[in-house]
A and B are shown apart, each in its own frame.
Chain A
Amino acid sequence: MSRFPTRPIARLGGHGGIVHAITYSSGSSDFILTGCADRTIRLYNISRASLDSGNPTSGLVKKFSAHGYEVLSLAVNQGNDRFVSTGGDKTVFFWDVATAQTLRTWRGHGGRINACAFGGEDESVVVTGSWDGTVKIWDVKSNSPKPIMTLDDAKDSISDVCVFDAEIISGSVDGRVRSYDLRMGMCNVDVIGHPVTSLTVTKKGSEILTSSLDSTVRLMDRENGQLLKAYRDEGFVNNELRVKSTLGQNDSVVLSGSDDGMVYAWDLLEGDVLHKFKHSDMREVKGKKPSMTAGGQKDVASSVAFCKIRKEWASGGGDGNVVVWGIEP
C-alpha cells in the first residue's frame, strides 16, 4: 500500500462557518470548491494556497454568493465550467464558473437540499436529495422549471445522492439506501438500519461506501446488499451529525470525518485504522484517544474529499478551515 498523505500542505481559510461541502474540480483537480454555512461558495487554487495562517484567504479565486441559506452540497461537472450547489434555501443553483452567475435555479423541493449530483449522459441532469424525503431530477438541457422525475420512496430526509452510470442512489435518514436502476426499472432498497449520511460508489461501481449514524462506515456489496466490511474505531464518533466519508487512493482507503473533529482513514480491505487526524489541529494523531480540544460543538470534521489524481485530500470542519493534506515533500 502506498503511503498515505498525512502532512497538511495548505489551509484554505476565510470561511465564516462550518464547511459543509468540499469538492475537487474535475480534470487536473487543481481547484477546490467549498460550500460553507456562511452562504457562500468559494473557489480555491490549491497551488496558490499556503499554510500560512496570516493570509487566511490565500489561494481564493472566486466567491459565489447567491444562496440565502447555508450551502450544503456541491457538484462540479466534468468540463469544470458549471457546478451545482444546494443548500438550505430549497433551491438548486446551477452556476457558471466563469461569470459566477447562476444560469438556472430550480425550485420544487419542500425543504433544505442536502445533496446534489450530476448525472446522465453529458451530465444533462442534476439529481438532488432533500430534507422533504424526495429525490428530484432536474433537466439541464431544457428550460423546464419542473423536475423530470421525483422519487419519493424515502420515508425520511434524503441525506446523500450519487449517480453511477444509469443508477441513482440515494441514502436516507430512514436507514435505507435506494438504488434506482433506470435500465431495469427496479429499485433495490437496502436497509442499513441507521440513518445514512454519506454515500460513495467505488470506481467499479459494485460496492458502495455508506456512513451511518451508528459510528460505522460500511462497505456494501451493491450486487446483493451484503456487508463487505464495516469500519469502526472506538474513538470514531458519528451519531448525530452529517459527516462525509469518501474513498481514496484508487479505492484503497476509506476516509471519514467524525463528530468530534477527527478524520479517520481505514484500510479498505483490512478494515484497520491507518491514520487518525485532528482536523482543527492540522496534525495526525497517534495513540489511542485524541485529546479533546475545546472546540465544542463546532469541532466537527464535516466533509472530506479525496483528490482523484494526486495523493491529496482535503478536510473541512466546523472551524471554518479546509485543510489540504498531502505527501510530505
Chain B
Amino acid sequence: MAFKRPRPSSPSVSQKRSRAPQGQTQHGGYVKCGTPMSMEQDGDDGAFVPVWKQTVTDDRGRRRLHGAFTGGFSAGYFNTVGSKEGWTPKTFVSSRSNRNKDQTNAPMQRAEDFMDEEDLAEAAAARQLETVGAFAGIGGADQPAAVHDGLFGLMITEDETMGVKLLQKMGWRRGQGIGPKVRRHARIEDGEGSGSTDAVPEQLFAPEDARVRVFAPPTSKRGGLGYRSDAPSLVQDVQPDAIRKVPLGLPSLEGISDALRPKKPKVRKSGIGTGILNDNGSDDEDPYELGPKITFNRTIAKEKKMKKPTSIKASKFAKAAAGQRHVFVPQRDATQTSSSIDRLCRDGSLPLKGFSLLTIADGLGARHKLPPPRIPEGWTSSKNPLGLAASRQPLQSIANATRASTLDAKGRASLLSEKALPGKSIFDYISKEDRDRLAALTGKNLPPGLGQQLPEDTKNQSFSQGNDLWGFVPALDKHVATAALAKGTTGWMPYGDDPKKRARYIGFLEIRAGLKDGLPERVPGITNVEWGQELREFAQAAHVFKPIQGLMASRFTSSTSHPQSHARGGPSHTPLLGVPEPKPEDPAETAAKLGMYGAMTRTVIPFHPARLLCKRFNVKPPPDVPFDSESAPRSSRTEEPVSKAAMNQMFHQAMIVGSSMSHPSSAEPHSAAFIPDRAAEQAPVDSETNEALLENRASDDVFRALFGDEDDD
C-alpha cells in the first residue's frame, strides 16, 4: 500500500495515520509555551501539500510510484508484486486423492499469509497483551512473590481450587489457618496494644493462617568442576543484615518475601568479550535476556537504611491490619529477635517435645561440611601398599587393563578357584617327544604330553598319593554322577554281569559325586592306560544314563578348556592347538544305540498340517493350524532363538518326563532318577515371610552415602 504522506523512517504503530486536524498540530494548538515537538522527524506535520507535490514512499523512505519516465517498471515491481520474479502462480495440486483435510499436518492457511508487511505491522499493533485467567487486581494466588505490597490477599483471584472448595465445605474460611480451633483472647485489632486482654474472656478462634514456606530452588550448583561462581549464592542474599524491611507495617512478611524472591544477581562488570559463552555463568541470569544489562539504581534517592523490626509484637499488630493473615515468622528472625517465641513450627505451634527445629545456621549448612577425620600421626594403612600404588595410577580403560594383564582365562579361573571344565587338548594325544619338540620350537610352557609325568600340583593336597594318576580319571560332572548313582539305586545299573566292575563303577561315581575321596579303585595288575580306559568307559556310561537335560541344554554348549593344562601347567601358557571336541551325542541317540527304545528315544514336536492337506485326508485340522500354513509356521523354527515351536517342544518334553514319572509301571525305570534333581530345582516358597521386608534397615550413613549428597548450603 502506498502512502499518501512521505513518512520515511517511522515504522510506527499505525502507518496509515489519519491526517490530524489542521489546527491541533499547527503551532497555535494547545501549546502554550515553547515550541511544539514535531511528531515526525522529517517534518511531515500534516500540513497541506498539493497533490502534485506529494510523493509516495515505502516504510523505509524510498520513493515509490515514479512517474512514467522515472522508473515505472520499478514502481510496479516494488509496489505490487514484491518479488523480482513477479507473480509466481502456485502450481495446481489436485486434491482429489490428497485431500487437504486428510493431511495431518497440512499447511493451514492463515490470514497472515495474505498480509503484506504493512498489514502485519498493523496486526501486530492491534494485538495487546492480556492476562490469561481471572486476575483481579494485584494479588495472584499462584504468585507468592507478588506480595511485596501490604495489600496481599485483599484481592484474590476469583476461581477456587477444589482444595479450597473442600475446605470451605468443612467450615474453613479464607484467611483462617487450617487445624483445630484455638482458645485464646481476642485480639484488639486497632493496633493500640493489648492492654485489656484480661477483661475479655477467652474465645475459640480459628488458628492463624500460616504461609507455606517456599524454599528457594537450588541454584548456582551447576557449574563445572572447579568453577567458582561469581554470582552470590542465595544464602548470602538472605543474610539477616541484608533483609530489607520496608516500614510499611509488614516487616516480617516483607523480609521473607524479599528473601524468597530470587534476586537478580548483581551483574559483575566484565570486560570486552563477555558474551553468552563466557559470561559470569550464574544460572539465574538469562544469557538471552533482551536488553542491555544496565545496572542502575531503582530509587532516585539515596538508599534507605533498613529498619529492623522492633518486635514481633509490632509485626503482629501490623498484620492484624491486613486481616490477620500471613503470620509466618521466619525462624531466623524469630530466634534473633525474640527468645520468648523461639522456633515455632510452620503452623505456629511449638515443636514436639524432645525435638528442636533445624535451622540453616546450625543444621543444613554445617551438615556436609564436616572436616575429614584427622589421621593420627604415624598411622600406616594395613592395606596392601601395592594396591594403594595401583589405585594411585591414573585410570585405565578396561581394554588397557585387560591388555596389560598377564593372566589368561585359565589364570583368572584358578585365581577364582573355579572348577575346570572337562576338555582335551592336542597334548593328550601326542607323545612326550613330540611335545618336547614343540616346546623347544615355541619356547612356551606346554602342557604335558601323552603319558607324561605331570608336575606336582600343590592345589590338590588330598590327592597327593597320585597326582599323575588323576590325569587318567576322566572328568564327570557332579550332577551327572549323582543322577547316575540315583538311577542305580532305583533299578538299572550297567555291568550287571560283572559285580566287581559294577562296584568299581559305583566307586567312580561316588568319587565324582563328591561322596568319596581318593582315587577310583583299579583292577590289580593293569596298566594305567587300561585303567584310564575303563574309567572313561564308566564316565560314558554315566553320561548315557544321566537324565535328558531338555532342549535348552542342547542349545548351549560350554566352552571347554584343558583341565590338565589348567591344573598343572600354570596360568601363563596356552595350548598351541585346540582339538575340536566331538559333539555331544544326543541322549536319545545314545539310548537308541543301547536299544532302550521308548520314552527316551521319542520326542514329540508340534506339526501344523496345511488345511488343504487335512481336507485331502478328510480329517479335522488341529485347532492351531493357521490358514496359510505352507508359508508361515514351519520355516520359522530355526530363526528365533527359542521359537514358539521350540517352547512347545520343551513343554512336551516336560510333559513326557512328568507322565513317565506319574506312571512308573508303563515308563522306564530310569526316569525315576529325575526326581531328586527336579525336587532340588524348585526353590522353597514361603508366602508368610518376606526376607526383603524383614531385614534390618541399613544405617543412615549408608543412605546418606548413597542418596544424601545434595550438598546444599
Q: What is the interface of chain A, defined by CB distance below 8 A to chain B?
A: 119-121, 124-125, 137, 139, 141, 148-153, 166, 175, 180-193, 218, 220, 224-227, 230
State the interface size on chain B (CB cutoff 8 A).
37
Q: Roughly how many angstroms separate A220 CA and B598 CA in the complex, as a whole number?
A: 9
Across-interface contacts of B612 in A (CB, < 8 A): 139, 148-149
User: For residue A146, which residue of chain B has the nearest CB?
Assistant: B630
Are A188 and B604 neighbours in the complex by a CB distance under 8 Å? yes
CB contact between B616 and one of A125, A153, A181, A218 (< 8 Å): that residue: A125
Are A187 and B606 neighbours in the complex by a CB distance under 8 Å? yes
Are B586 and A191 neighbours in the complex by a CB distance under 8 Å? yes
Using A166-B617, A182-B617 as known contacts, say yes or no to A225 and B605 having CB atoms under 8 A apart.
Answer: no
The residues in B between 587 and 624 inclusive whose CB is less than 8 angstroms from any CB of A are 588-589, 591-593, 595, 597-599, 601-610, 612-614, 616-624
Are B609 and A149 neighbours in the complex by a CB distance under 8 Å? yes
- New A-B contacts (14) at CB < 8 Å, excluding given A225-B602, A227-B598: A119-B616, A119-B617, A124-B616, A139-B612, A148-B613, A148-B630, A151-B634, A153-B605, A175-B589, A182-B609, A185-B624, A186-B607, A191-B603, A193-B592
| Closest beta carbon of chain A to B437's beta carbon, Å | 41
B409 at interface, CB cutoff 8 A: no
Q: Roughly how many angstroms separate A230 CA and B603 CA in the complex, as a whole number?
A: 21
Are B604 and A137 neighbours in the complex by a CB distance under 8 Å? no
Are A186 and B605 neighbours in the complex by a CB distance under 8 Å? yes
User: For residue B595, which residue of chain A has the nearest CB?
Assistant: A227
Across-interface contacts of A192 in B (CB, < 8 A): 592, 601
Across-interface contacts of B619 in A (CB, < 8 A): 166, 182-183
| Closest beta carbon of chain A to B313's beta carbon, Å | 92
Across-interface contacts of B629 in A (CB, < 8 A): 149
User: For residue B596, which residue of chain A has the nearest CB?
Assistant: A227
Across-interface contacts of A148 in B (CB, < 8 A): 610, 612-613, 616, 630
| Closest beta carbon of chain A to B665's beta carbon, Å | 13
Are A190 and B607 neighbours in the complex by a CB distance under 8 Å? no
Across-interface contacts of A125 in B (CB, < 8 A): 613, 616-617
User: For residue B668, which residue of chain A has the nearest CB?
Assistant: A226
Across-interface contacts of B602 in A (CB, < 8 A): 188-191, 224-225
Q: Roughly how many angstroms separate A137 CA and B617 CA in the complex, as a whole number?
A: 11
Are A189 and B605 neighbours in the complex by a CB distance under 8 Å? yes
Are B598 and A225 neighbours in the complex by a CB distance under 8 Å? yes
User: For residue A184, which residue of chain B has the nearest CB?
Assistant: B622
| Closest beta carbon of chain A to B463's beta carbon, Å | 38
User: For residue B652, which residue of chain A has the nearest CB?
Assistant: A186
Are A185 and B625 neighbours in the complex by a CB distance under 8 Å? yes
Are B597 and A225 neighbours in the complex by a CB distance under 8 Å? yes
Q: Roughly how many angstroms separate A184 CA and B616 CA in the complex, as a whole number?
A: 16
| Closest beta carbon of chain B to A135's beta carbon, Å | 11
Are A220 and B622 neighbours in the complex by a CB distance under 8 Å? no
Are A187 and B630 neighbours in the complex by a CB distance under 8 Å? no
Q: Roughly how many angstroms separate A193 CA and B602 CA in the complex, as a whole number?
A: 12
Q: Roughly how many angstroms separate A187 CA and B652 CA in the complex, as a whole number?
A: 11
| Closest beta carbon of chain B to A163's beta carbon, Å | 9
Q: Roughly how many angstroms separate A218 CA and B593 CA in the complex, as a whole number?
A: 13
Across-interface contacts of B603 in A (CB, < 8 A): 188-189, 191
Are A175 and B610 neighbours in the complex by a CB distance under 8 Å? no
Across-interface contacts of A152 in B (CB, < 8 A): 634
Please indicate which of the listed interface residues B604, B607, B623 has the most CB atoms of chain A within 10 Å of its own CB: B607
User: For residue B593, which residue of chain A has the nearest CB?
Assistant: A193
CB contact between A149 and one of B599, B601, B622, B630 (< 8 Å): that residue: B630
Q: Roughly how many angstroms separate A227 CA and B593 CA in the complex, as a whole number?
A: 12
Across-interface contacts of B613 in A (CB, < 8 A): 120, 125, 137, 148-149, 182
CB contact between B589 and one of A124, A185, A193, A225 (< 8 Å): that residue: A193
Q: Roughly how many angstroms separate A141 CA and B616 CA in the complex, as a whole number?
A: 9
Are B624 and A190 neighbours in the complex by a CB distance under 8 Å? no
Using A125-B613, A149-B630, A225-B602 as known contacts, say yes or no to A220 and B607 having CB atoms under 8 A apart.
Answer: no
| Closest beta carbon of chain B to A101's beta carbon, Å | 24
The residues in B between 220 and 259 inclusive whose CB is less than 8 angstroms from any CB of A are none
Using A121-B618, A148-B613, A149-B629 as known contacts, say yes or no to A187 and B589 having CB atoms under 8 A apart.
Answer: no
Q: Roughly how many angstroms separate A189 CA and B598 CA in the complex, as a whole number?
A: 11
Using A124-B616, A139-B616 as known contacts, say yes or no to A149 and B610 having CB atoms under 8 A apart.
Answer: yes
| Closest beta carbon of chain B to A137's beta carbon, Å | 6
Q: Roughly how many angstroms separate A143 CA and B303 CA in the complex, as a whole number?
A: 105
Would you give the 0/1 interface string for B399-440, flagging 1 where the beta carbon is closer than 8 Å to chain A? 000000000000000000000000000000000000000000
Q: Roughly how many angstroms separate A226 CA and B618 CA in the complex, as a whole number?
A: 29
| Closest beta carbon of chain B to A164's beta carbon, Å | 11
Q: Roughly how many angstroms separate A224 CA and B591 CA in the complex, as a whole number?
A: 15
Write 8 A-B pairs (CB below 8 A) sorted by A numbering.
A121-B616, A137-B610, A180-B607, A182-B614, A182-B619, A185-B609, A187-B607, A191-B586
User: For residue B624, which residue of chain A has the nearest CB?
Assistant: A185
Across-interface contacts of A124 in B (CB, < 8 A): 616
User: For residue A127, which residue of chain B has the nearest CB?
Assistant: B613
Q: Roughly how many angstroms separate A121 CA and B206 CA in the complex, as a whole number?
A: 94
Across-interface contacts of B608 in A (CB, < 8 A): 185
Q: Roughly how many angstroms separate A145 CA and B620 CA in the complex, as a whole number?
A: 25
| Closest beta carbon of chain B to A219's beta carbon, Å | 11
Q: Roughly how many angstroms separate A253 CA and B3 CA in the complex, as a whole number?
A: 119
Are B622 and A185 neighbours in the complex by a CB distance under 8 Å? yes
Across-interface contacts of A185 in B (CB, < 8 A): 606-609, 621-625
Are A191 and B592 neighbours in the complex by a CB distance under 8 Å? yes
User: For residue A212, which residue of chain B has the nearest CB?
Assistant: B592
Across-interface contacts of B586 in A (CB, < 8 A): 191
Across-interface contacts of A226 in B (CB, < 8 A): 597-598
Q: Roughly how many angstroms separate A147 CA and B220 CA in the complex, as a whole number?
A: 76
Across-interface contacts of B607 in A (CB, < 8 A): 151, 180-181, 185-187
Sorted from nearest, which 7 A-B pairs have the closest CB atoms? A185-B622, A193-B592, A225-B602, A227-B597, A187-B607, A121-B618, A191-B601
Are B599 and A186 neighbours in the complex by a CB distance under 8 Å? no
User: For residue A181, which residue of chain B has the nearest CB?
Assistant: B607
| Closest beta carbon of chain A to B269's beta carbon, Å | 83
| Closest beta carbon of chain A to B670's beta carbon, Å | 14
User: For residue B614, which residue of chain A has the nearest CB?
Assistant: A182
| Closest beta carbon of chain B to A329's beta carbon, Å | 42
Across-interface contacts of A189 in B (CB, < 8 A): 602-605
Please indicate which of the listed interface residues B598, B606, B624, B629 has the most CB atoms of chain A within 10 Å of its own CB: B598
The residues in B between 559 and 594 inclusive whose CB is less than 8 angstroms from any CB of A are 586, 588-589, 591-593
Are B597 and A220 neighbours in the complex by a CB distance under 8 Å? yes
CB contact between B599 and one of A175, A181, A184, A225 (< 8 Å): that residue: A225
| Closest beta carbon of chain A to B671's beta carbon, Å | 13
